[in-house]
Amino acid sequence: MQLPVLSYIEAVTQALDEEMSRDENVFVMGEDVGKRGGVFQATKGLYDKYGENRVIDTPLAESAIAGVGIGAAMYGMRPVAEMQFSDFMLPAANQIISEAAKTRYRSNNEWSVPMTIRAPFGGGVHGGLYHSQSMEAIFANVPGLKIVIPSTPYDVKGLLKASIRDNDPVIFFEHKRAYRLIKGEVPVDDYTIPLGTADVKRVGTDVTVITYGLMVHYAMQAADKLAAEGISTHILDLRTVYPLDKEAIIEAARKTGKVLLLTEDTKEGSVISEAAAIIAENCLFDLDAPIRRLAAPDAPAMPYAGPLEHAFMVKPEQVEKEIRNLAEF
Amino acid sequence: MIKARSGETLVKNRHQNLGLSDEVVLSMYENMLKARRVDERLWLLNRAGKIPFVVSCQGQESAQVGAAFGLNREKDYVAPYYRDFGFVFAWGMTIKEMMLNNFAKAEDPSSAGRQMPGHFSYRKLRMLSHSSPVTTQNPHAVGIALAAKIKGDDLVSFVDFGEGSSNQGDFHEAANFAAVHKLPVIFMCENNQYAISVGLKHQLACAHVSDRAIGYGMFGKSFDGNDPLAAYAAVKEAADRAHRGEGPTLLEANCYRLMPHTSDDNDMTYRTKEEVNEAKKHDGVLTFAAYLRSVGVLTEVREKEMEDQIRNEIDEATDYAENAPFADPDSVLRYVYEEKN
């Protein structure tokens, strides 16, 4: 039987809808999430279905969105707070890092914050400096947080449901270019994907690509092309970028001995740099080539003007070239 | 003004008018005294090298205890801040638990010694956990009220903070959110006149913290923070408003921080002995005792009993906490995330 095909954003909406219907403690809050259904329409239809008490338009104030969510979570609710763009999360950074991430720890397990913060991220949408950024690295050395970045509609649904049911704070970054670009089969039934588990998206023997988000698709496209040249690419989708699935990273690196780490975030201090360290610590004698990283340049953020944005953003051709170089090493 | 008791008392019984029995006001006083005596002992322990740090409540006990009595202590949620000794005692924390907190021992109910002293938390008492960057607890209190509203639970969410905190973005964001959604929140600022060394006039340009309430469309009121009855009345009124669905209230208790900011501070670098001595004349612990004596509620015998009992309790609690074990060093890795099984 054929499964329904959903876009990435439709999978977000479906997961939210199913979780709200399954558990009355789940509610949605954020800027424009109510009547408008979200600026990207991720919460479309939920206001009409669940009412203003559970689909809450908040004042424009990100720290309150996070902080009020934390309080509601401490009461026993499961808030799903939307940050309109991940670039706008920084006013809430103290609430996320000092409060949500540390509440269980600092109360010696008495209080917890079962909250999910959804935030669209990523470039390639003519969003300029403040609607294009990747923010995961800022939160990716904060024990107490979990950071999820799905690449496919199937993963979106399973991971978002798992995030909402998780009893700790989860930041769920959704790639906004993927929202309508990426479509895929999504089962109608209820399923979850365990947080903290990476996924092999393609099995190969020559070069391993470890990546996440939109870049998974760039890697898949490159792999298709390179297959014609006889190069076999193994692709690991991290899915949870903090804490990392270390075993899966080590296994994927050992599989081919040649590793390309790929992110659209700026390079230094990025999530893939941590993956590089894990590989360096564990796989020295398994490597047949130096670890390579492909990332955005270490400039503040992606410019608005078309040619500048293009220059900043990682491109599929670059991915292809890097894989080929490693294969030939 | 309260005058000393003489042949015929000139002092009006104010607590009866508020519906408070003699026993209730004595209990208020007892909690204030507990907070004061514990605080004094902590400074001694610090100067004797037994505990590394003290953050003091002295000068704010009256507002704290009065506020706690104005709430429903069986039902309401509270987010006190690090000076709230009087509040947490009135809310149900024991002297032993306070000492365990200050000695940072494993049995400390707030955090098992993970946080610095005064960072109160107690889930069984519906007391939220808070951190050191100030005012972060305000949005949490609003979140409690929002959740209660969604669930249809009738309760009040109370949050305490200093006047320095009233400048933080989280103060504003929380107040605005609570007002827009008409949530049952009481924001109580304990204005002790100092944010460490920076005095009130360098913190705010308005006359009163409560003046800010109108900007949020909420009710605001200042009261004498040295008077527990004024605090009780203000908080009770705010709670009644919250229960009637009239939304949040911003209260300001005008107090004075009698001690330095913490045991690491030297307040004589920014204020004078004369100023502190003047403030001590209005110390609520002394003036409330004088009131209770003048209306014949606090007898010499009762007062001595109270002092003796508190001293014994502090002695026992200090010995217990000093000898209690620290948390196992391996526990540093516990409770980062939920531990299943």
For the beta sheet containing A146-148, the strands, ordered from the edge strand earlier in sequence to the opposite edge, are A55-57, A26-30, A78-82, A116-121, A170-175, A146-148, A240-242
Q: Specify the pLDDT at position A149.
A: 98
Class of domain A5-185: alpha beta
CATH code for residues B57-83+120-293: 3.40.50.970
Q: Would an 8 Å CB–CB cutoff place B116 in contact with chain A? A: no
Hey, is the C-beta of B152 within 8 angstroms of any chain A C-beta? no
Q: Which of B99, B74, B57 is nearest to B253 (CA)?
A: B57
> What pLDDT, on the 0 to 100 scale, is given for residue B11?
78
Mean pLDDT of B304-308: 98
Q: Do B139 and A168 touch (CB under 8 A)?
A: no
Q: Mean pLDDT across the stretch A102-124?
A: 98
The DSSP-derived string for A246-303 is: HHHHHHHHHHHS-EEEEEEEESTT-HHHHHHHHHHHH-GGG-SS--EEEEE-SSSS--
pLDDT for residue A114 is more than 70: yes
Q: Is the pLDDT of residue A144 over 70?
A: yes
Copy the structure tokens of residue A137: 């690295």
In this prediction, residues B96-117 reach a mean pLDDT of 98
Average pLDDT (B87-110) is 98
Estimate to the nearest angstrom the gap between the alpha carbon of B231 and the chain centroid: 11
Q: What is the pLDDT at residue B10?
A: 62
Q: What is the pLDDT of residues A219-265, one digit of tens each?
A: 999 999 999 999 999 999 999 999 999 999 999 999 999 999 999 99
Mean pLDDT on A210-216: 98
Residues of A in contact with B136 (CB under 8 A): 67, 94-95, 98-99
Mean pLDDT of the residues in chain B = 96
Query: What does the pLDDT read at residue B2?
Result: 46
Which residue type sits at B36?
Answer: R
ipTM for the complex shown: 0.96
What do you get for the CA distance between the two ends of chain A, in Å?
44
B244 catalytic per annotation: no
pLDDT score of A2: 84
B194 is annotated as an active-site residue: no
The DSSP call for residue B122 is: B
Give, in words, the CATH class of A199-328.
alpha beta
Q: What are phi and psi of B303, to 5 degrees?
A: -65, -45
Quick check: A57 contacting B, CB < 8 Å?
no
Interchain pair A73, B123: CB under 8 A: no
What CA–CA distance (Å, rounded) separates B114 from A106?
6
pLDDT for position B97: 98
Residue B1 has what pLDDT?
A: 43
Q: Reading across the β-sheet that carries B77-79, which strands appear in turn? A: B77-79, B157-162, B185-191, B249-254, B219-224
Q: Is it the case that residue B8 has pLDDT exceeding 80? A: no
Neighbours of B196 (CB within 10 A): 13
Nearest chain B CA: its distance from A44 CA (Å): 21
For the segment B32-44, what is each residue's pLDDT rounded down to a tens digit? 999 999 999 999 9
Alpha helices in chain B (DSSP H): 14-17, 22-47, 61-69, 85-91, 95-102, 137-151, 169-180, 213-216, 228-243, 273-280, 284-294, 300-323
Amino acid occupying residue A91: P
B123 → closest Cβ in A77, A95, A111: A111
Closest-CA distance of chain B to residue A109, Å: 6
Q: Is the pLDDT of residue B96 over 50?
A: yes
**DSSP per-residue codes, B125-153:** GTB----SSTTTHHHHHHHHHHHHHHHT-
pLDDT of B167 reads 96
CA distance linking residue A198 with residue A145, whole number of Å: 17
Please report how the helices B228-243 and B61-69 are oriented relative to each other, as an axis angle in degrees rounded to 10.
40
The Cα–Cα gap between A57 and A80 comes to 12
With a cut of 70, say whether residue B339 has pLDDT above it.
Answer: yes
Is the CB of B147 less than 8 angstroms away from the CB of A77?
Answer: yes
| B6 has pLDDT over 90 | no
**Minimum-distance CB partner of B139 among A95, A103, A106:** A95
* Domain definitions of chain A by residue range: 5-185, 199-328
User: B144-185, pLDDT tens digit by residue?
Assistant: 999 999 999 999 999 999 999 999 999 999 999 999 999 999
Amino acid at B166: S
Q: What value does the mean pLDDT take over residues A204-224?
A: 98
Q: Rounded CA gap, B255 and A207, in Å?
A: 69
Using a CB-CB cut-off of 8 Å, the residues of chain B touching A72 are 143-144, 146-147, 150
- Virtual torsion, Cα A28, A32, A38, A44, nearest 10 deg: 70
